[in-house]
Chain A
Amino acid sequence: MAARPFAYPHPVLGSGDDVVGELSPLNLTVESHADRLVLNAGPFSSTNPTLSTLLEQGLASYAIRVHCSGTYFRRSWTSSKPVMQIIIPASRLVGTVKVRLWVIAKTLLGTYRPQGLHADYGETTFRLEDCDVLAEGEEVAFTADKDFDPLAGAVSSFMRIECGENDTGPFETIFDQPRILIRLPKLDWANYQLLKSSAPQILHSAIVLPVLAEAIRVVWDRPDHLLDLAWFQKVDLMLTGAGAEPEDPLVETAQKLLQNPFSRAGQDAARLVQEDE
């Protein structure tokens, strides 16, 4: 069902034929990083001379509203400049995020009467208050993906294990994707499934620990083609948080990030042995 058009109490550019002119599109691009989303919008412009003048004089401003119904996030940013960059922590947005452009009054406009006003308004002038809408712009929606599963623990949020093509042999590691991909041989896959449910901590020592050590080496090397990948940024953040240095031994650093996985693996293994007995 189409939304019912809203009748503003004053003339608004973009609302029917209230006012002659146009507001440019939002021109939004969204960069997704491990810890933040960067929204770049603009350049904006208005073809209505009154609005253009108010913007130049600082009596009006562009406003961008970001609304994520999934996380109760709603916030507006204003600027007199025709481009805006907005940085939002990734932890605050999930699912559909709506972004809308407006032009709003930045002060009391006691006798507002834009050029190109529809003839039906006659000689009427309008008293507008701070933040009253002067122009309706484009609304764009994007999806904030939960690339990293925040509930699944730090590691499984950026590593994925799947069944490979080979029947036997060493497992493969692929680092040039958003998540590190580990491909197990088919014959090992079944055992992996068994361990995953009955003794998951053993997997941390057997698979995750060596792969993470290798990932840490890649992060310290900082190859250009991997810098923007989500797993790279996540591991980089974890290393910073742990106070790790490039000269630290890789396996020790990996164990630190995993909080001593062998201790837990040992407990899982001991339990399995006891269950067998």
Chain B
Amino acid sequence: MTRLMLLTESAVSKLRSELEKPGGLAGYRGGGFTFTRDALLPSTVEVSDTLPELKSAGPECDAPSSVNLYRWLGSLEEVLATDERLWAALAHGHFAEYTRSRWPVPSDDSKAISSIRSHWFVGGGLGGLRRNSVARLWWAAHLTYAPWEDEQDGAEFGGLKPPDGDPFIYTTTLFKNQNVYQALVEREFGSSRRVLIAMLEVIRRDPTNRATDAFSNALGKQVNLLSAFREISALPVATLVNNFEALAAGFTRNQG
């Protein structure tokens, strides 16, 4: 086991400011980054010396990469997992090659800067964590990991536990389609674990027809409307699943 080293706030700030300087993109387009001792900060997070395998062949690799990363980093505290020093350090350090490969840096410099800010750093709001190459993988797993083990609501999710007990069943569902992550997690109601898992359960039941752009967009819109006049995060999980199934049936009828 080894203690994870982070970038200091000033090191992150320096990296960001150097982006627009001549030659500032070189490290992102190839090679790598080396940091002086005072740019690094020992964290309280201990990880295995063996890095997890993060495949970058395409979006279909995100689910296994997410699972591998979560197993390696573990269940960090949420406040810690919003910290840019952590994710920028991992994107520029251990997973620089992965980040470069999964999110290729555009040849146009201004587009390159925009892409690097999104995937190598953490911008503002929920979108920032969703776009960072490493943070998005960890948060996807964290938000969906074995809901039946949830300290407060675990019993309510008990009925959703699959026979094989796969704790990452909803992580896999979340990455079935790139739009599902955006349509569900990046909306305010998606921060409610009950609502998010209930929506993913509905998609999991028929991934061929439901893990699609059209379905996830439609479901996201309908749940958004519903949440405006109903406090859906106070509803039992079973009721949410039934409500969302009814919405899904409505989409099918309209398509027919």
Tell me the A residues contacting B by CB distance below 8 Å: 6, 8-10, 12, 63, 65, 67-78, 90-95, 102, 104, 129-133, 146, 150-154, 197-198
Q: List 25 A-B contacts (CB under 8 A).
A: A6-B229, A10-B229, A69-B191, A71-B79, A72-B143, A72-B185, A73-B78, A74-B189, A74-B191, A74-B233, A76-B233, A93-B78, A104-B231, A104-B234, A131-B231, A131-B235, A132-B230, A133-B229, A133-B230, A133-B231, A146-B79, A150-B80, A151-B44, A151-B80, A198-B37
Listed stretches B81-89, B110-118, B169-177; interface member: B81-89
**Is the pair B231, A91 in contact by a Cβ cutoff of 8 Å?**
no
**Is the pair B82, A131 in contact by a Cβ cutoff of 8 Å?**
no
- A104–B41 alpha-carbon span in the complex (Å): 48
**Is the pair A130, B79 in contact by a Cβ cutoff of 8 Å?**
no
Return chain A residues, CB-CB under 8 Å to B77: 91-92, 150
Known contacts A71-B81, A198-B37; 10 additional CB pairs below 8 A are: A10-B229, A69-B125, A70-B82, A71-B82, A73-B78, A76-B192, A77-B234, A92-B79, A153-B44, A198-B38
Q: Which of B45, B139, B191 contacts A67 (CB 8 A)?
A: B191
**Is the pair B231, A92 in contact by a Cβ cutoff of 8 Å?**
no
Q: A69-B125, A90-B79, A91-B79 are in contact. Are A132 and B143 (CB under 8 A)?
A: no
Number of A-B residue pairs with CB-CB distance less than 8 Å in the complex they form = 104
**Is the pair B235, A130 in contact by a Cβ cutoff of 8 Å?**
yes
Return chain B residues, CB-CB under 8 Å to A146: 79
Return chain B residues, CB-CB under 8 Å to A63: 231, 234
Least CB distance from A248 to B in Å reads: 23
- A127–B205 alpha-carbon span in the complex (Å): 30
Q: Which of A9, A75, A150 contacts B79 (CB 8 A)?
A: A150
- A116–B66 alpha-carbon span in the complex (Å): 54
Return chain A residues, CB-CB under 8 Å to B126: 69, 72
Most buried by B among A68, A90, A151: A151
Least CB distance from B228 to A in Å reads: 6
Least CB distance from B70 to A in Å reads: 15
B-side interface mostly: helix
Return chain A residues, CB-CB under 8 Å to B230: 104, 129, 131-133
Least CB distance from B52 to A in Å reads: 20
Most buried by A among B125, B228, B230: B230
- B104 contacts the other chain (CB 8 A): no
- A90–B80 alpha-carbon span in the complex (Å): 11
Least CB distance from B42 to A in Å reads: 6
- B6 contacts the other chain (CB 8 A): yes
- A209–B77 alpha-carbon span in the complex (Å): 26
**Is the pair B233, A151 in contact by a Cβ cutoff of 8 Å?**
no
Q: Which of B41, B191, B228, B235 contacts A72 (CB 8 A)?
A: B191
Residue in A closest to B185 when the chains form the complex, CB atoms? A72
**Is the pair B78, A151 in contact by a Cβ cutoff of 8 Å?**
no
**Is the pair B191, A76 in contact by a Cβ cutoff of 8 Å?**
no
Return chain B residues, CB-CB under 8 Å to A90: 79
Q: A92-B78, A130-B239 are in contact. Are A75 and B233 (CB under 8 A)?
A: yes
Residue in B closest to A152 when the chains form the complex, CB atoms? B41
